[in-house]
Structure formats: structure tokens, C-alpha cells
């Protein structure tokens, strides 16, 4: 370490002062030489420049993040002619494409309705590399043609498909109604081309709006019983008549009971 500039000045001043004192001593010549050497040494130290520290190393070069990619199709299985929704999402990508669709945004959705099973392949590329993802949409085989409808006489139908009756202000299936609906389901299963309408009926007590809702619930309860018995739901249509259509108009329990029903008719 060399002294600072202020320290050097002080040292030189001290050296000169010592020189003046030495010049007055008997050993002046020998001491004068030593003082001269010391003075030159201090002077050389004072005039030497300090070496600056080396510059810091450059920061490491940033690495671009790798892209991410995902793709889904909902539902993943459809019937011919049906549709599905393709959804995808990517990050840190500058080029995104889906086979069969083309270039797309970083995220989005699209309705698709292919005629055959298809695998959608998503590729996302960016400064950090590339990433791909796939989603499979299965298209079911075409269904066989539906059999031609069966012609049935209304009277024969009514003899074999009986109404189900309900208690007051409820749409719960009673045990006796369960037995009737099981027989109805058996007959309809034996005639798979028949389609039926289930009407929900109520007695005339209560408001029209309330009874329309109650009649709908009764029709739906009967429909569910038939479905549980093996009848396809697409063969059944429901309608609520509420208290608009009465089978009996007397104000007694026997008459009211006749009006609380789920009735069946052929859907022509």
C-alpha cells in the first residue's frame, strides 16, 4: 500500500525538515545520502497511480422459457352428425397450429363436427422450444335404420297400457301404481316402435298454475318408472293438463281420485 496524497505531502515535509537538521550534524554527508534515498522512495510512492479494479463479469444471458400446451375435446365421443367443443391453451409460444384447423391463437375454443373419429394435434413453438398435445374425438358407428312404426288400434293400446293413480297433492308412485307401470313397461318393451304420450292430471282443487306444475311432476314420475322398466326415453313425451281435463266432475274423494292420474295415449 502506498500513502495517500495528503500522507505523501506530510512525509515529504517531514523528510525535508529532517534534512535541515542533519545538515547541522557532524555526519552530514553520510546521513544526507540516506535521507536523499528515503526522500526519493517516498516521492516515487506518492507519484505511482493505483490500479483500478477489473470490471464485473457480464450477467448471464437469459434463457427463454419452454412453451406449454394443452388441448381437450368435450364430449370426447359423439354420434354421427353430433358436435363437440375443442378447447386449447398455450404459454410462451409464438406459433400455434392445430392439424386440420390451421394457425390459432394462444388459447381459444372451436365447435367441431367431424364425420369420423379424429385426433386433434396441437403444436406450439416459441424461442424456448416446442410443445405438442393431442385430443381424440370418437365418432360412433352409424346406427342401423329404425324399424318402421307399428300400427296399433287405440282400443288395444288402452286395454294393455293402464293409467297410474296418485294420492292427493303428491306425485309419489304408490305401490299399486308401481305394479301397473311395470305391466305398462312390459307391453311397450314388446312393441318397440310404439311411442306414447303421458298426460299428468289433477283434481280441481287448488290454483291452475299449481296443478299444471303438479301434473307435470306426475307425468315425469310415470315416465321415469317406464324408463326404469326398460322403455327408451326417446319413445316417451310428457304433457301436463293440470285440472283442465276432468274425468269426473263430482266433489267427492272417489271422483277426485279418478282425476289424479298419469294417463297414456299413442303418440301418432
For strands 118-126 and 95-98, give the pairing: antiparallel
Q: Which three cell numbers stand for residue 60?
A: 448471464
pTM of the model: 0.47
Structural domains in the chain, sorted by start? 5-47 (no CATH), 68-139 (2.60.40.2470), 154-266 (3.30.1330.60)
Q: Which helix (H) or strand (E) holds 89?
A: strand 84-91
pLDDT tens track of the chain, all 268 residues? 444 445 555 655 665 565 566 556 555 555 555 555 555 554 555 555 577 888 888 777 778 899 999 999 999 999 998 889 899 999 999 999 999 899 999 999 999 999 999 999 999 999 999 999 999 999 998 766 555 667 888 999 999 999 999 999 999 999 999 999 999 999 999 999 999 999 999 999 999 999 999 999 999 999 999 999 999 999 999 999 999 999 999 999 999 999 999 999 999 7
The torsion angles phi and psi of 262, rounded to 5 degrees, stand at -115, 110
So what's the pLDDT on residue 58?
A: 79
Taking each helix axis from N to C terminus, what angle separates 175-190 and 208-228, rounded to the nearest 10 degrees? 60
Any idea which residue has 346406427 for its cell? 143
Q: Could you tell me which residues come within 8 angstroms of residue 115 by beta carbon, excluding any fewer than 6 positions away? A: 80, 139
So what's the pLDDT on residue 59?
A: 77
For strands 129-139 and 118-126, give the pairing: antiparallel
Any idea which residue has 312404426 for its cell? 149
In a 10 Å sphere around its CB, with 0-12 CB exposed, 13-18 middle and 19+ buried, how is residue 52 labelled?
exposed
Amino acid at each position: 500500500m502506498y500513502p495517500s496524497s495528503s500522507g505523501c505531502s506530510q512525509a515529504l515535509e517531514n523528510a525535508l525538515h529532517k534534512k535541515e537538521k542533519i545538515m547541522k550534524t557532524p555526519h552530514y554527508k553520510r546521513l544526507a545520502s540516506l535521507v536523499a534515498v528515503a526522500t526519493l522512495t517516498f516521492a516515487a510512492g506518492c507519484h505511482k497511480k493505483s490500479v483500478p479494479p477489473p470490471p464485473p463479469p457480464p450477467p448471464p444471458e437469459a434463457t427463454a422459457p419452454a412453451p406449454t400446451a394443452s388441448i381437450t375435446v368435450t364430449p370426447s365421443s359423439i354420434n354421427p352428425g353430433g358436435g363437440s367443443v375443442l378447447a386449447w391453451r398455450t404459454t410462451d409460444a409464438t406459433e400455434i397450429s392445430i392439424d386440420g384447423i390451421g394457425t390459432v391463437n394462444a388459447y381459444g375454443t372451436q365447435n367441431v363436427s367431424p364425420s369420423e373419429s379424429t385426433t386433434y394435434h396441437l403444436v406450439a413453438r416459441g424461442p424456448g422450444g416446442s410443445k405438442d398435445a393431442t385430443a381424440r374425438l370418437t365418432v360412433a358407428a352409424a346406427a342401423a335404420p329404425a324399424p318402421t312404426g307399428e300400427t296399433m288400434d287405440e282400443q288395444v293400446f288402452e286395454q294393455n297400457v293402464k293409467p297410474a293413480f296418485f294420492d292427493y297433492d303428491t306425485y309419489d308412485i304408490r305401490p299399486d301404481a308401481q305394479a301397473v307401470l311395470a305391466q305398462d313397461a312390459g307391453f311397450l318393451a314388446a312393441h318397440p316402435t310404439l311411442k306414447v304420450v303421458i298426460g299428468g292430471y289433477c283434481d280441481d282443487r287448488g290454483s291452475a298454475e299449481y296443478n299444471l306444475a303438479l301434473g307435470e311432476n306426475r307425468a315425469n314420475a310415470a315416465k321415469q318408472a317406464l324408463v326404469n322398466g326398460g322403455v327408451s326415453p326417446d319413445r316417451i313425451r310428457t304433457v301436463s293438463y293440470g285440472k283442465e281435463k276432468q274425468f269426473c266432475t263430482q266433489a267427492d274423494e272417489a271422483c277426485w281420485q279418478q282425476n289424479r292420474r298419469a294417463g297414456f295415449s299413442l303418440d301418432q
